[in-house]
Structure 1
Amino acid sequence: MRAFILAMLVIASALVPDTASAEDVPGHNHLHFASGHNPPLSNDEHTGFNDRILAEAFRRTGIEISLRRVPTGRAGPLVNAGTEDGCGPRIPEFSEYFPNLVPIKEPAITFEFVAFTRRDGIRFNGWESLSRYTVGHLMGSVILARNSDKHAAAVTRVKSVIQLFELLDRGRIDIAIIERWTGLDAIKRLGLKNVRMLHPALARRPMFFFLNRKHAALVPRVEAAMREMKADGTYDRTMVQVLNPLLVGF
């Protein structure tokens, strides 16, 4: 009888799926996220807008997170390989490039990709307007790489926001393309003068957090928590505190 019971236990353990989510496995209620974003969206103190929204959404599901910043193009591969548990926010089709990622389908933020310049007289009306200008953007951005390669006269890719705006300030590029809040923050931190934001925005896209598919069971709970944050005012208050001050002067 003891041998029979032991055999049944072995069989039962073999049937337990290896994709158990964080809340199902004792001791695994702590997830590790990689952020490829810059201030004011993410920073080393984890007080950026994305950092705070992410931490609060998972706190409401009973899960603690750790966050580390990585180069823009590294977050997706790390999560796809299972080295990190999640990343984002990124464009909806991000998982087409990394098949082990699943989206949390409640938008984390809407990005406006915009152009900054020091030049006067630029007539600007979308991607096609870049055809006569040298353009710079950060490495690792799918949407910026795809469209600038197609439309700009020449493209320079850099590793950091500081490098991007130093090139713009020195006249090495005509236009810097970047997410709006990140660009505004860099201009203020560097104390740049005579840099203006061109209108209209080049693209406006909802962005989403992503999890490695082994945590897919968590997705509905996190989506519900994010909807709750928007309904109770937490989301808007965070935006007012972290992002809206950057609009002064623009």
Structure 2
Amino acid sequence: LDLADAIIKQMGSKMEFKSMGFDALIPAVQSGQIDMIAAGLDATPERAKQVAFSDVYFKDNGYCIVVRKDNTTINDWADLAGKNVGAQVGTYQVKLAQEAKAAEVKQLDSNSQAWMELQANTLDAVVIDQPVAMYYLKQGAGKDLKNVGTQKDGSGMVFAFKKDNKQLQEGVNKALKELKANGTYDKIYEKWFGKPASK
């Protein structure tokens, strides 16, 4: 959101933020209820059929597994077989958990719900976007939780627009380039992740 806000300001406009369930975002942009999706959206081929994408604004993303620190049985993707796994509804992470043959894939409304269930022991693991895990563990959850296994690479995070909204798409791409050139992008990245962005 910090990045989206900076981009809109760079374009000389103002952002009005609406909080929605992840699975409601694409229909909302298609119907004109919102102008842009700023929600850690991966640039998948399926979504490209439905919406227009910005340039990639975050490429360190991928998918990872988070478990409790006392967990010794889940060390990689194959170990999710037969386990209760959480993932946010409407995301690619649900598919990854299903492909790993989890006994149950609990589709959650929010990432905060995933962390609560993991800490309460009602889930064995959570499959989540790497940057979300990076941020949450940095905020102190690292004392109870840990990231395990190899990261599955994502296709890069993008903003999304209605298919025919070329003006907004081009404006956002131009502003994103300007923020990268003037150092604003790096400042926002370090604020959230505590390290410089990879180039």
TM over 0.5: yes
Q: Distance in 1 between matches of 2:80 and 2:10?
A: 44
Q: Distance in 2 between matches of 1:204 and 1:96?
A: 14
CA RMSD in angstroms comes to 2.5
Q: Which one has more relative contact order, counting CA pairs under 8 Å at least 6 apart?
A: 2
Look up the equivalent residue of 1:134 and give its one-letter code.
N
Specify the alignment match of 2:72 in structure 1. 120
**Alignment counterpart, residue 110 of structure 2, candidates 121, 137, 160:** 160
Q: Point out where structure 2 has 5 or more consecutive residues left out of the alignment.
A: none
Deviation at 1:188, TM superposition (A): 6.5
Question: 1:62-141 counterparts in 2 under 5 A?
Answer: 62-88=12-38, 89-93=40-44, 96=47, 99=50, 101-104=51-54, 106-110=55-59, 111-118=61-68, 119-124=71-76, 127-141=77-91
Deviation at 1:146, TM superposition (A): 1.6
Aligned length: 190
Structure 1 segments, 4+ long, off by >6 Å, are none
Question: 1:208-247 counterparts in 2 under 5 A?
Answer: 208-244=158-194
Cα distance change, pair 56–228 in 1 and its aligned pair in 2 (3 A): same
Look up the equivalent residue of 2:72 and give its one-letter code.
D
Look up the equivalent residue of 1:151 and give its one-letter code.
A
TM-score for the superposition, normalised by structure 1: 0.66
Cα distance change, pair 87–95 in 1 and its aligned pair in 2 (3 A): farther
Cα distance change, pair 149–122 in 1 and its aligned pair in 2 (3 A): closer
Deviation at 1:205, TM superposition (A): 3.1
Cα distance change, pair 65–210 in 1 and its aligned pair in 2 (3 A): same
Deviation at 1:187, TM superposition (A): 5.2
Greater Rg over alpha carbons, structure: 1
Question: 1:6-85 counterparts in 2 under 5 A?
Answer: 51-85=1-35
Specify the alignment match of 1:46 in structure 2. none
CA deviation vs aligned residue, 1:120-145 (integer Å, no higher than 9, x gap): 14332xx444224321111121x112
Look up the equivalent residue of 1:197 and give its one-letter code.
N
Q: Distance in 2 between matches of 1:80 and 1:94?
A: 17
Q: Does the 8 A contact of 2:135 with 2:192 survive in 1?
A: no
Correspondence 1:194 to 2:194: no
Task: Give 3-state SS (helix, strand or coil) of 2:160's partner.
Answer: strand
Aligned identity (percent) is 18
Q: Distance in 2 between matches of 1:165 and 1:131?
A: 20
Q: Does the 8 A contact of 2:42 with 2:155 survive in 1?
A: yes
Q: Does the 8 A contact of 1:135 with 1:152 survive in 2?
A: no
Q: Distance in 2 between matches of 1:240 and 1:186?
A: 14
Q: Does the 8 A contact of 1:114 with 1:179 survive in 2?
A: yes
TM-score for the superposition, normalised by structure 2: 0.81
Q: Distance in 2 between matches of 1:152 and 1:203?
A: 19
Q: Does the 8 A contact of 2:138 with 2:193 survive in 1?
A: no
